[in-house]
Structure 1
Amino acid sequence: MKISLNWLKEYIQITESAEEIAALLTGSGLEVETWEEVESVKGGLKGLVIGEVITCAKHPNADKLSVTTVDIGGEQLSPIVCGAPNVKAGQKVIVATVGATLYPSSGDSFQIKRAKIRGEVSEGMICAEDEIGLGQSHDGILVLDTDLPSGTPAADYFNLESDFVFEIGLTPNRADGASHIGVARDLKALLNRKVESPSVESFKVDNEKRVIPVTVENTEACPRYSSLTITGVTVTDSPEWLKNRLNSIGIKPTNNVVDITNYILHSLGQPMHAFDADEVVGDKITVKTLPEGTTFTTLDEKERKLADTDLMICNEAGGMCIAGVFGGIKSGVKKTTKNVFLESAYFSPDYTRKSAQKHQLKTDASFRYERGTDPNITVYALKYAALLIKELAGGEISSPIADFYPAPIQDFKVEVKFANIDRLIGKAIGNDRIKSILESLDIQIQDETETGFTAIVPPFRVDVQREADIVEEVLRIYGYNNIEIDEHLSSSFLSEFPAKDADGIKKETSRLLAGAGFHEIVTNSLTKDGYSNSTAAIDENDNVKILNYLSEDLNVMRQTLLFHGLEVIDRNVKRKNGDLRLFEFGTTYHFIKEKYVERSRLSLFVTGNATPESWLSPSRKVNFHDLSAIVLKLLAKFGISKIENQETESELFGYGLTISTNKKPIVHLGKVNAEVAKLTDVSTEVFFADFDWDYIQKLYTSEFTFQPISKYPEVKRDLSLVVDKAINFDDIRMLAEKLERSLINRVSVFDVYEGDKIDAGKKAYAISFYLQDQEKTLTDKVIDKSMSRLMQGFERELGAVIRK
């Protein structure tokens, strides 16, 4: 939300700098995320002054140039060469002095320098309006009708003002701060100054020749509705002051009537809507809901189907506006509008929120109505808007104010104890200080006793309904920074503070991967549903769909990091960068059993050559083991040692493994299915690993156990086993560790054979077993006995044939 400093000054006296105001607001809970200086004319006409042409003569060396002397308020006259046909002695003109930078209406900016033009010295420039960004005319120099002395800054003549605009990150509970006067109320309490609201005492009804009665059928959705009619208006452009106000906060001016309703909204926080009264069929307004499925075309020219909970502003022919959200295409104020029906209402936050969400319409009005506006300001805002319309668009107020408010919304009453305020703040600031802060926030004190009081909170403070909320109001104005931290600070509860640092784990992992030659990528969380529709490996029913997606390529949330990684690979390969090692930390999104689920993942990609080509050795393509090596290295780094492997069943892979621990899969890795890779135009072999990052972080440990290097030698024995193809090395390794737990140090495979020298359906493993005793040197007898136990186990459990 944007707030203009100059706009704020309409309601409260401000002498502090923009930086000081930003700090005050942030400290009080209206966090100023950024602030910047805004100029109504770029450059602010700095270095431009009013000058008087004293002499003017033809240039001796150029027919179309004139040599002038100009008084710009200095001790001496300034010589200036001018090419304008209308320059004459005695004129008051705008002069850009040496060093000034001009920002023309079109083209690039440029700086004025002392120069010689056809042999004549020129110390400045007499300006046309387009050359200083004030218009488009370039017929001649700008001649002023003014008695201001020479040397007066041009900005003073044009009444230019620079402004500072604050970007406030408004939290959902602070609906009261969604306007300039709302921010001014906080400054009133912080600076102990008055807030001056615009006077509406001059409001009067001119006649009653255009009365449009209002009926409210749904009083739950519309507790209050105020309106009046103005006839004989002239719809045209707004004056500069109003355009400047709206432009400063990023609102594009439309016309004087619509701009006034936007001005009121951002001034007071009260949304308003102006209807073309001649489009009100039957000269009657009804506020009601319409049947489910009724069609309605909004201002953006989209036809929408209404829900039976959408509150509508209707005439006798049908709907004109979705109440509190968006107007209709026919009923808005246009250049041809002569009569205006002006609405100022309080709509239910619940109803407004449902309608805005259903139709995916987030407007300035719905933003405020959803959070809760001030039900007691509708008539004041209506009078203020009517007076501004009469001033800027003419016309007459042609109906009394119709104010439907059958059940006035009451103030909130909150019982407060002084002792609880002191306890929650952590400091006794004094009862008088507490009361003065609350009163400065328009919260009244009633039924005061020695121990407490009743706080009467106006209904526009929808976030202040409990004693703790009252304490927060006191504290944010008193200042969080003014509460000293006791050196004996203690807590009344115990909490577990986990030692694991998620960011630290991620950083450590990134460092390890970068050291292994990987580059980090960051991709979009949005993707296209075509990926899930094209492979059975991803259930398209689990897609989290985007309702108002920007393109077909970004219409669902991703269920895997694979496809965006493949897109990155495709982009690089097409640019001749094919040897890639990539990793990404990211989130996947799923709609499972009517619930939205987010999961954190770590993905690895390797493709291309494992080593670059050189004169020492030929290049080698990456393979599965290049990826599995780094995966195992990561798991060891995480402190995960007890793992089981099994072939992956995911159709995303042509082949691969699923690594589990405690019977739970933690990583899937393998070669990406060629058909899946083709969905992103990737034709090269890609190896992909997908880590369950959430679970891995739970398993992560920085604690490791160590043991001294054994003084006794390690013994190596080799075996050749012929087993069924379905048996993999991991099955053999785990069985060996089970059979000879005390002596097996490690197991490795150094050859695998499948071919015509062994039976069909079989394969042979050549395996090395490393045995070691931590207490003594192994004897041949112990080694032979151990190997015999292993061979018997392999024959019994795996049906292996031992090749001798």
Structure 2
Amino acid sequence: MKISYNWLKQFINTDLDVEEVNVILTDLGLEVEGLTDFESIKGGLKGIVVGHVESCEQHPNADRLKLTKVNIGDEVVQIVCGAPNIAKGQNVPVATVGTTLYNDGEAWEIKKGKLRGEASFGMICSESEIGLGDASDGIMVLAEDLKAGTPLSDIFEVENDKIIEIGLTPNRADAMSHWGVARDLRAGLIQQDKKNAIVTPSVSNFHVENRSKKISVNVENPELAPRYCSLTISNITVKSSPEWLQNRLKAIGIKPMNNIVDATNYVMHELGQPLHAFNADFIKDQKINVKTADKGTKFITLDGVERELHEEDLMICDAEKPLCIAGVFGGLNSGIKDNTTSIFLESAYFDSVSIRKTAKRHGLNTDASFRYERGIDPDITKYALRRAAILIEEISGGKVSSDADDFYPKKIEDFQVFLSFERINKLIGEKIDTDKIKSILSSLDIKVKNVTESGLGLVIPAYRVDVQREVDVIEEILRVYGYNNIDIDSKFNVSVSKSSKFDDYKIQNRIANQLISQGFYETMANSLTKKDYAELDSQLEAKNNVEMLNPLSHDLAVMRQSLLFSGLESLAYNINRNNQDLKFFEFGKTYHKYNQDFVEKKHLSLLITGKRTSNSWLNTEKNADFFYLKGILVSLFTSLGLSEIKFTDKETQTISEGLSINFKKKKIAEFGRVNSQILSEFDIDQNVLYADIDWDLVLEFIKNTSFVGQKISKFPSTQRDFALLVDEHISFNEIEKIALKTDKKLLKNVDLFDVYKGDKLPDGKKSYAVSFKFRDDHKTLTDKQVDKIMTKLQKQFESQLNASLR
């Protein structure tokens, strides 16, 4: 937020320089982020003087140039000029040699030169070239009675100002004006024993000239417009604002429009109260209705955009049509035009929640909505209206032509809070004198209603919407008292204890590092997603979506039930930018609604597409496949101590060629190849592998799992192989289960190293080449022991699987 120091000093008279003021404001919590210089005329007209044209002749070498002799006070110089309106006897602005001029902010220097062979010592300027206007089609002609050589800075007032850039926090709605900042500055100065009074603009001159333009007001939704003030001003002339007003607005980055609009902007930045001026002649039947819109109504705003209104949008309407989105944006046809002669002026207090929702629905963010959303002062509504009316009368020639109507059925009361002395001392950490506390509260316009031994009964002004609790008041006391004034002990006693609490983030970071070492990138997707995604997965139901009440867009309408679709969006984004080889993982939450209960679950997702590794002389080109992903998951769960996992077939609407991973008879993950129909929704035409891990359930198992270290056996292992002929429907998992159940003591591992299907085998059969690893941790195994186990294994395979040896 930009604050003009000259404007600020109109509210509070201080002899402090701006740097000292910046320190005070920053200490008070209004952090000053920058300080810039402002000149109402860029360059301040330095080096530009009045020149008298003593002669003007045709340039000998150019048809469109003139050769002039110009008296600039201390000498007569020759200047070549191309303006069509240059003539002998004129007084003109001359930029002398060495003067810096500005073109769209870019500086350039006037130098001696030659134009078509003739010397030129300076430049005769137009209005636009020196910042005194917009005219650029000819030179500026000055008054005849001016003396040659007079600096233009003595003729035209140049305002110099310091602009304070404040990084305003959202809770400080009361400081969104020069008056608001001045109030804080006064509080800070009082703590330095400087009694600087706040001087507010007087409205004592306000009066109703006549009552010739009465416009009736009906507020149908008082809960959305608790206070609505208005009046009319007639016989106005719409024109440019006076120079002083334009300079005030330009200083804080506001572009002047016309005297009526500028006056409303000026009062808003002066007092913090947004205002709106309507073309009164455009108001049908001279009636204003403040009401919510009819659903689906079309309305064209000032920016020329047609918007469809929501049934909860508060509108300012006349007898037949909407004129303005209340507190947000005006209508195209009801605004101030050059031929407007009478206006209806509005100053209102609107419900902050309603304004915030409306502004978000329509994607609008205006100076007015910015203030209404955060809360303004309901007590200055009528004062600001009168202030603006007086200003408009002064600069437009109009007269107030109706009484100031004030719809205010139920007064908004100030907040009341009890402040405990004990609570102050406990939170601040030191005792502050009671009189000091009262002084600080008084400087903040907080009234002490009653005093007891234990504390103070306080009345908080309604404009401090952020101060509603005892702790808020203590925060206010502390920021004015000064954080730097709180003593801090130079000695700290710290006790360090070792916690045995399970650290799930440590586990998460370990797995993240493991995946990163395998070439994965971590992603963090938006938890908001499309409503339609639930229809793409048979395991999800649309009725379980957690829907947003006011979604920013259709693409952000619900909380996600799965990490898959946001992950596919990330893949598609990268594939479209020629990154086809991708490995992503994400730790994220899913959100579900079951009847009236809301459930959050944490998951870990993996997505792989393209090649396993980048091409090199060492690595041959090989795409990632189902078994590559399975190996990654097995190593991941092994590192978590969950090595005894079981696999079962799993195919869904989203996953084909998939498996579920179970631990202790509970599903902890599922993985496989993403269905091509799903991929087509994202315009992905290459295979994608996906794994979804129930991270909450995994953590529960880890918490209850003991990690026991085992020393490496000093005895050798031995390996035997079988080539088993089995039915096509038999999986290796069944073979592994039977083997490990047959011998639990010496059989350590069962591996599949080859699968054969071909013409040499009977129909409906396939061959598994399986290796069995044996070891006794206490002695060396003999061939007889191993042969005995292999015989038992063969019998079990024959009896349970109808298998035979090849």
**TM-score, length of structure 1 as denominator length:** 0.80
1:458 positional shift: 1.5
* Pairs within 5 Å for 1:458-607: 458-486=461-489, 500=503, 502=505, 512-519=514-521, 539=541, 562=564, 578=580, 580-585=581-586, 592-593=593-594, 603-607=605-609
1:710 positional shift: 2.6
SS across alignment from 1:45? coil
1:211 positional shift: 3.3
Aligned to 1:230: 233
Distance 1:249 1:767, change over 3 A: farther
Aligned to 2:277: 274
1:570 positional shift: 5.7
1:440 positional shift: 0.8
Distance 1:122 1:509, change over 3 A: farther
Contact 1:68 1:82 (8 Å CA) reproduced:
no
SS across alignment from 2:379? coil
Distance across 2 between alignment mates of 1:638 and 1:787: 32
1:428 positional shift: 0.9
Distance across 1 between alignment mates of 2:257 and 2:154: 28
Aligned to 1:457: 460
1:380 positional shift: 0.9
Contact 1:220 1:348 (8 Å CA) reproduced:
yes
* Aligned match for 1:630, one of 606, 629, 632: 632
Aligned to 2:193: none
Aligned to 1:669: 671
Aligned to 1:169: 169
Structure 1: which amino acid aligns with 2:593?
I
Distance across 2 between alignment mates of 1:104 and 1:531: 50
SS across alignment from 1:186? helix
Residue 87 of structure 2 is aligned to residue 95 of structure 1: no
Distance 1:419 1:151, change over 3 A: same
Distance 1:793 1:89, change over 3 A: farther
Structure 1: which amino acid aligns with 2:474?
V
Distance 1:369 1:161, change over 3 A: closer
Contact 1:230 1:341 (8 Å CA) reproduced:
yes
Aligned to 2:382: 379
Structure 2: which amino acid aligns with 1:379?
K
Distance 1:568 1:713, change over 3 A: same
Aligned to 1:183: 181
Residue 423 of structure 2 is aligned to residue 425 of structure 1: no
Deviations 1:269-301 (A, max 9, x none): 3233333333444445455668x7594746366
Distance across 2 between alignment mates of 1:72 and 1:645: 99
Aligned to 1:50: 48
SS across alignment from 1:376? helix
SS across alignment from 1:382? helix
Deviations 1:483-526 (A, max 9, x none): 344467799xx999967485x77766565445434456676777
Distance 1:56 1:764, change over 3 A: farther
Distance across 2 between alignment mates of 1:761 and 1:154: 106
Aligned to 1:679: 681
Structure 2: which amino acid aligns with 1:801?
A
Deviations 1:335-380 (A, max 9, x none): 4432222232334446656666777766544554454432221221
Aligned to 1:689: 691
Distance across 2 between alignment mates of 1:508 and 1:147: 83
SS across alignment from 2:451? coil
Distance across 2 between alignment mates of 1:739 and 1:234: 102
SS across alignment from 1:378? helix
SS across alignment from 1:708? coil
Distance 1:777 1:11, change over 3 A: farther
SS across alignment from 1:400? coil
Distance across 1 between alignment mates of 2:237 and 2:247: 21
Aligned to 1:442: 445
Deviations 1:625-655 (A, max 9, x none): 3333334444455555443333333322332
Distance 1:65 1:253, change over 3 A: closer
Contact 1:38 1:248 (8 Å CA) reproduced:
no
Distance across 1 between alignment mates of 2:553 and 2:473: 47
Structure 1: which amino acid aligns with 2:413?
Q
Structure 2: which amino acid aligns with 1:181?
W
Comparing 529-538 and 231-240, the one that deviates more: 529-538
1:574 positional shift: 6.6
1:256 positional shift: 3.0
Distance across 1 between alignment mates of 2:620 and 2:308: 65
Distance across 2 between alignment mates of 1:403 and 1:545: 40
Aligned to 1:339: 342
SS across alignment from 1:718? strand
Contact 2:743 2:789 (8 Å CA) reproduced:
yes
1:422 positional shift: 1.0
1:588 positional shift: 6.8
Distance 1:644 1:14, change over 3 A: farther
Residue 769 of structure 2 is aligned to residue 771 of structure 1: no
Deviations 1:12-56 (A, max 9, x none): 357778787666556545566x557485789x4389532466999
Distance 1:191 1:646, change over 3 A: farther
Distance across 2 between alignment mates of 1:116 and 1:329: 51
SS across alignment from 1:475? helix
Contact 1:286 1:313 (8 Å CA) reproduced:
yes
* Pairs within 5 Å for 1:741-752: 741-752=744-755
Distance across 1 between alignment mates of 2:803 and 2:760: 14
Distance across 2 between alignment mates of 1:72 and 1:728: 106
Distance across 1 between alignment mates of 2:426 and 2:471: 11
1:434 positional shift: 1.1
Distance across 2 between alignment mates of 1:19 and 1:698: 58
Deviations 1:108-146 (A, max 9, x none): x46448676478888876654445666554445556667
Distance 1:673 1:303, change over 3 A: closer
Structure 2: which amino acid aligns with 1:11?
F
1:460 positional shift: 1.9
1:388 positional shift: 1.4
Distance 1:762 1:49, change over 3 A: farther
Distance across 2 between alignment mates of 1:737 and 1:349: 69
Structure 1: which amino acid aligns with 2:686?
T
Aligned to 1:200: 203
Contact 1:216 1:288 (8 Å CA) reproduced:
yes
Contact 2:437 2:477 (8 Å CA) reproduced:
yes
Q: Percent identity?
A: 42
Contact 2:48 2:99 (8 Å CA) reproduced:
no
Structure 2: which amino acid aligns with 1:383?
R
SS across alignment from 1:768? strand
Contact 1:748 1:767 (8 Å CA) reproduced:
yes
1:418 positional shift: 1.8
Distance 1:649 1:129, change over 3 A: farther
Contact 2:230 2:346 (8 Å CA) reproduced:
yes
Structure 2: which amino acid aligns with 1:620?
K
Residue 415 of structure 2 is aligned to residue 412 of structure 1: yes
**TM-score, length of structure 2 as denominator length:** 0.80
Deviations 1:704-729 (A, max 9, x none): 76443332223323334455555544
Distance across 2 between alignment mates of 1:144 and 1:755: 104
Distance across 1 between alignment mates of 2:502 and 2:437: 40
Deviations 1:191-232 (A, max 9, x none): 334432222122222223333444556555544333322111
Deviations 1:573-603 (A, max 9, x none): 677654x133253757656347777766655
Contact 2:415 2:462 (8 Å CA) reproduced:
yes
Distance across 2 between alignment mates of 1:242 and 1:624: 72
Query: Structure 1: which 5+ residue stretches go unaligned?
Result: none
Distance 1:469 1:282, change over 3 A: same
For this pair of structures, how many residues does the alignment match?
788
Query: Structure 2: which 5+ residue stretches go unaligned?
Result: 191-195
Structure 2: which amino acid aligns with 1:256?
N
Comparing 184-193 and 437-446, the one that deviates more: 184-193
Root-mean-square deviation (Å): 5.0
